[in-house]
A and B are shown apart, each in its own frame.
Chain A
Amino acid sequence: MRLISANIKNFGKFSDYKIDLNNNITNCCEENGFGKTTIAAFIKAMLFGLDKNTSKILSDRAHYYPFNGKTFGGSLTLEYQQKIITINRIFDKKSPTKDVAIVSDEHGNNLKWDPTKIGEKIFEIDSDSFNKTLFISSSNLSFENTTSISQKLNGLVNSDCENYDDIITKIDSTLKSINRKDNRSSTKSKIKEIDDKIFEIKKNIDNLNILRNIIDEKYSDYKNIEKEISDLSKKRDWIYNRKVVNEKINQYLNKQKELSQIEDELKKINEKYPLGLPNQDEMNQLKIYQYNDYKLLNRLEEYRFSQKEQNEFVNLKNKYHSIVISEDDLNFLKQYEFDLSTYREIDNKEFDKEKSDKLNHLIDVFKEKLPLESEITDIEKKISQYKINQLNNSSSAFIPTEYKKLKSEFYDYIPSQEELDQIKEKVEYYQELEVKKKNYINSFDNIVSKNKTSQTIELVLLIIGLVSIVGGLILFAFNLFPALITTIVGVVLVIPSIILLIKNNKSNNVPIIDKKELSNINDEIIKLENNLRNYFVQFRMSESDYLKNYNRLVNDREDYLKIKNNVDLRSKYKEEIEKQNKQLENELTNFFTKYACLQNTFESSLIEIKTMINEYKNLSKEKEIFNQQKFDNKKKINETTKLVQSIFKKYAIDENTPLKKDFINFLSNESSLLKYFLEKNNNFQKQIENKKKNDSLIIEILSKYYISLNDDFQNQYDIIKNDFDTSKRLINNINRKREENDNYKLINNISEEDFKIENDILNLEEINKQIQELNYDLNTKSKEINEVEQQLDNYDSLVNEIKELTEKKEYYNKKYHNLEITKEIFNTAQENLHKKYIGPMENSFKMYAEKINPIVKEDAKINFSFDVKYLNGTKDHLSEGLKTCLSLCMRFAVIDNMYKSERPFVILDDPFVHLDNENLYKAINVLKELSKNTQIIYFSCHESRSIK
């Protein structure tokens, strides 16, 4: 790659300015203000464009805006990839987006490169990287790596490379934390900590092992103390038992003493009965005899007479000769007394006054002759008839409403038949006239229909009449009078209806009249109308149909007459019935009055009389019975009295003694008393006999033992019995006691020897005290054991802890080892990387640096950030000039490694302005070295710094 020429159109101070450049070094030495920097900037701008203006710093765009204000831009011709290309650019004053850039080949063909990436395409680095490598000015001499440069230098990733030192530091730090080699540090390493912990724990375990041994001793001590306590307790128990034995012996002796007391008691009893006591059987017998004696004594007492009783007994014996009135006789007397009192009661009774009065009254009423049954029957019939008549009367009083209506019609008068005939003629004449008239006006049918209408009415009446007749005939079966009326009405309706029907049939023909006559007819009609109207009005008929009126009148008249006739008939009938009823009423009234039983109604009167008759009969009978009873009663009194007397005689009682309850009771009592006394006396005697027998039995037994019978055998027996029981009990007790004592001795192992042993002086108190002290020791030992056991509880966990710590230590050791390997791997990786990618650059640098300072060459090391490191701190001793030169070497080294195939050109804008002669010389030598294979465009403002 080489820059051929730069053609400035307008750029800064330059306008239409062309520079041709050499292949190797283009040395442009001009005074200040010539525009060297401008040209350098122009070349750069052609390659990478211009930045947009910013408010903060003066950008190149603003700085190099053409002074003349004309087209801002130019072109650059260069050889790239063995082709000549020209870059044409026009810059906008302000905005890069308005810039125009065209890259064309030597033939002028547009290569259609991205105008914003022209420099990047050519150099494969960005603008910033270009400034740090191929574009060197005095203000940016030092080298700084960029991503673009790194990528160009085979794509090294910076971050890893930069972290290498940190990584190694971390590894070292971790290694130290695991296992610090020097122990001077205050911070312990983990392994050290573990070792220390293990040491401590082992110490604890050793202590616990000691305790484990101790605890066996303590268990042993504990058991010994327990045994001692047990022995002392046994001794104490023995002592206690010994005391118990003594107590038992004492108890035994007491028991023996009790036994002898019992024996003494027995002895006393035996002394009372030298020949002994009766045996059990005999005692049982005596018991029976004693019981018998007791009973006998009680009975004797029971049957013994008191003085009073004795006296009474004697009296009664004398009175009744020792004969007791039998129970039967007493009962008879009671019965007789009751009967007599009943009979007397009856005898004293009178017939009921009220009944008697009633009977007397009835006797007066009926005058001792009752009405016959036939009379009563007759009266019943009359009453029935009377009722029927009354009913008939009420029905006959019924006046049909039609009659009332008709009556009002013919209130004024009833027209005679002649009158009716005249009217009829008038009406007929009227009709004729009407017909004549209607021959002009009305149709035949109206007249006919009128005829028909009137015929219809007549037919209806006919039908009603026929129905009445039939109904009446039916009613005859039930009631005569209504049937009669109905039939009559029916007949009344039927006959006129038939007549009218016949008449109507005849008046069917209608004469015809002419017109002239019509008015005459009309006049006549009017006259007739007035006449007829006035006539009919009398009868409350106002219809204009006069024939109708007439017919109605006729009918009504007939009806009225018929009904009136009926009404009249009924009235007449009613009178007859009334008359009849009157008669009946009189008869009935007389009858009932005769017997004073007339009531509001005849029915009730009939009932009354019947009741009276019955009453009379009953009362009469009752009285008869009553009288008969009285008679019989008297007879009975006499008979009963005789019976009583016979009984009295039997027992020497005065026959005339009135028989009363009190007396009977008295007799009964005395008799009972006598009976009682007699029995009692007998019993008494018997008991005496029995007692004698009993006493002899007792004596029979007692005499065997020389015991005489006392008067008070009860008491005597109790004494003997008591002695006997006591003796028996004592004997049993003695036997039992003996057995008990022997058993006691046996059970308690009391030997004869025991009686001989004296009681030791046994100091229980002291032993108890010793036991107490030992228990205290035991408790103390138990606590010690517990404490030790609690500590020993941790033993296994400590062992486990050691195990865990040991494992952890192994882990750390392993980790340490692995980290060492890791460190070594990093070192190796770093070296490899360095060798592959940094080495060549380092060599290049050294090659250039040799020209500057051989020592530096040896010490210098380049890292992955392309920082030059001086191993022995050489850099700190380097002068600024030297550092500048070395930076230049670095740049060149980078360029060498960035562009292995097509070497780019390097632009230097008076970079050595700060160097002294020596360094300048060195720097120029380096440039010369570089120019061997690199086009250099060098600007300077002083001859001293130009390249020759």
Chain B
Amino acid sequence: MKIIHTADLHIGSSFKELPENVRKIRKIELLKSFQSLVDYAKNNSIKVILLAGDIFDNDKVNKSDKEFFYDIISNNADIDFLYLRGNHDIKSLINRTDISNLKLFNNDWKEYIYDNVVISGIELDDSNLTSLYTSLNLNKNNFNIVMIHGQIVNSISNPKYDIKIDKFKDKFIDYIALGHIHSYSQNALDNRTIYAYPGCLQGRGFDETGEKGFIEIDTEAKTYTFKKFAKREIYKVELDISSTKSEYEAYILVKKKINSLHSDAIIQLIIKGKVDYDFTNLELLVKEEIKENFLYSEIKMNVIKKVKYQDYENDISLRGEVIREILKRDFDEDTKNEILSDCLKLLDGEEIDL
């Protein structure tokens, strides 16, 4: 049989870094991604979906969002949703006993059986941190899946709610369905056991770039395939323009990079480097170029104008005196560059940018 493993939906995320109009779109997209996931399951005859924690962003998610989520589940009664809470939604009370296909877990091992496929799950708390490894007993003849939410560590480290993955070795587990880390990864624990984080279904910020999706488990073929699913890309792009010789060249370089990205994405563009030409207009040019192409864009300019100190070392001028004075002083690099940049602008008759 085929099973979907997903986690960290974080429904109800605020998307606070985004402007209001974009924030609303992203919130809706988060909900829609769950609906799309269920549609995928329907179209591919998948009858079980594992929700391995942090389905809600916090315990104060909007009622409407919660209702939307539960309505999706209740309107797809032929699919079982196995919901295991994570650190973000552990305090969420789930009071939907009316939804027969919503299967819950608690702080004891609980099993759900589908022919020879046994799915066991446990929600971490203080009471089961050490006992959970020993209290898990599985039949080796079954296809055993274990659901758990947390950060995996080896047995030596001791953070409280982290999962000591080594302790799951040789327990006849075929697949450990993890949640908590927002990027996909998959590893083998022993000859039989594979453990994997599906990552989140949609990136929510510039710290969650890369491919997002879910894992499709095939219990017969014993394959665990990552399916890229996020419809909207999030890019964090750093571009060094130090090699360019003019503002125009830098603009062309940035434009080329922008055009290589998927449109309608969300992008943070960091332009950095040291140049020896005036780049006053570059940020505005890039902003103009970028604004139509993407749903949301941020630009950070970390560009410094190079100064050839040697040119001015012996310069008998105010410029020379200023530079000599700056070089004399013990500034950190950033301060030195900023002061120098401002001094040069002032000496060139320009205004200081704030």
Contact = CB atoms under 8 A, between A and B. Distances in A.
Contacts of A547: none
B173 to A, nearest CB: 38
Interface string B151-191: 00000000000000000000000000000000000000000
Interface residues of A, number: 47
Chain B binding surface SS class? helix
Given A786-B63, A789-B64, A797-B16, A812 B318 contact: no
B16 A178 contact: no
Contacts of B318: 157, 160-161, 163-164, 826, 829-830, 833, 864
Interface string B318-329: 110110111001
Interface string A791-821: 0111111011000000000001001001101
B343 A160 contact: no
A190 B326 contact: no
A242 B23 CA distance: 53
Given A174-B354, A796-B16, A828 B316 contact: no
A603 B316 CA distance: 156
Nearest to B349: A163
A31 B299 CA distance: 80
Contacts of B63: 219, 782, 785-786, 789
A828 B325 contact: yes
A915 interface: no
Interface in B1-34: 14, 16-17, 20, 23
Nearest to B324: A829
A797 B23 CA distance: 10
Given A167-B347, A190-B354, A825-B325, A160 B339 contact: no
Interface string A439-455: 00000000000000000
A822 interface: yes
Nearest to B335: A818
A166 B351 CA distance: 10
Interface in B188-212: none
A261 interface: no
B317 A819 contact: no
Contacts of A163: 318, 346-347, 349
Nearest to B347: A160
Contact of A160 (B14, B319, B325): B319
Given A157-B316, A786-B63, A822-B343, A800 B321 contact: no
Interface in B31-63: 60, 62-63
Interface string A104-140: 0000000000000000000000000000000000000
A190 B353 CA distance: 13
Question: Interface centre among B322, B325, B338, B349, by most A CB within 10 Å?
Answer: B322
B346 A167 contact: yes
Contacts of B354: 174, 177-178, 190, 812, 815
A84 interface: no
B342 interface: yes
A171 interface: yes
Interface in A380-405: none
Contact of B16 (A164, A166, A174, A799): A799
A199 to B, nearest CB: 20
A161 B317 contact: yes
Nearest to A827: B325
Contact of B17 (A171, A792, A800, A826): A800
A173 to B, nearest CB: 9
A179 to B, nearest CB: 11
B221 interface: no
A864 B316 CA distance: 12
B108 to A, nearest CB: 27
A171 B352 contact: yes
A818 B321 CA distance: 18
A780 to B, nearest CB: 14
A160 B352 contact: no
A156 interface: yes
Interface in A826-850: 826, 828-830, 832-833, 836-837
A155 interface: yes
Contact of B343 (A212, A825, A833): A825
A29 B338 CA distance: 64
A86 B20 CA distance: 87
A154 to B, nearest CB: 6
Chain A binding surface SS class? helix
Contact of B321 (A812, A819, A830): A830
A412 to B, nearest CB: 127
Contacts of A793: 14, 23, 62
Contacts of A797: 14, 16, 20, 23
Nearest to B19: A797
A177 B351 CA distance: 12
Contacts of A828: 321, 325
Interface in B297-327: 315-319, 321-322, 324-326
A795 B61 CA distance: 12
A653 B284 CA distance: 141
Interface string A202-218: 00000000001001000
Nearest to B345: A170
Contacts of A800: 16-17
Contacts of B322: 825-826, 829
B62 A170 contact: no
A174 B318 CA distance: 20
Contacts of B324: 829
B207 to A, nearest CB: 14
Given A825-B339, A829-B325, A157 B317 contact: yes
Contacts of A818: 335, 338-339, 342
A910 to B, nearest CB: 38
B71 to A, nearest CB: 15
B139 to A, nearest CB: 42
Contact of A819 (B17, B349, B352): B352
Given A157-B316, A789-B62, A789-B63, A170 B346 contact: yes
A815 B352 CA distance: 10
A190 B354 CA distance: 10
Given A167-B346, A171-B352, A155 B316 contact: yes
Nearest to A155: B316
Question: Interface centre among B17, B321, B324, by most A CB within 10 Å?
Answer: B321
B351 A170 contact: yes
B62 to A, nearest CB: 5
Contacts of B325: 825, 828-829, 832
Contacts of A160: 317-319, 347
Given A785-B63, A825-B325, A829-B321, A796 B349 contact: no
Given A167-B347, A825-B326, A829-B322, A156 B20 contact: no
A789 B17 CA distance: 18
Contacts of A795: 14
B12 to A, nearest CB: 10
Interface string A87-114: 0000000000000000000000000000
B343 A826 contact: yes
Nearest to A158: B317
B319 to A, nearest CB: 5
A161 B318 CA distance: 6
Contact of A821 (B17, B60, B339, B346): B339
A837 B321 CA distance: 12
A242 B326 CA distance: 95
Interface string A503-528: 00000000000000000000000000
Given A156-B316, A830-B318, A174 B352 contact: yes
Given A178-B354, A786-B64, A828-B321, 10 more contacts: A157-B315, A161-B318, A170-B351, A170-B352, A212-B60, A215-B60, A793-B14, A825-B326, A829-B321, A830-B321
Nearest 3 interchain pairs by C-beta: A796-B14, A829-B321, A160-B318
8 contacts: A157-B319, A160-B317, A167-B347, A797-B14, A822-B339, A825-B322, A825-B326, A826-B343
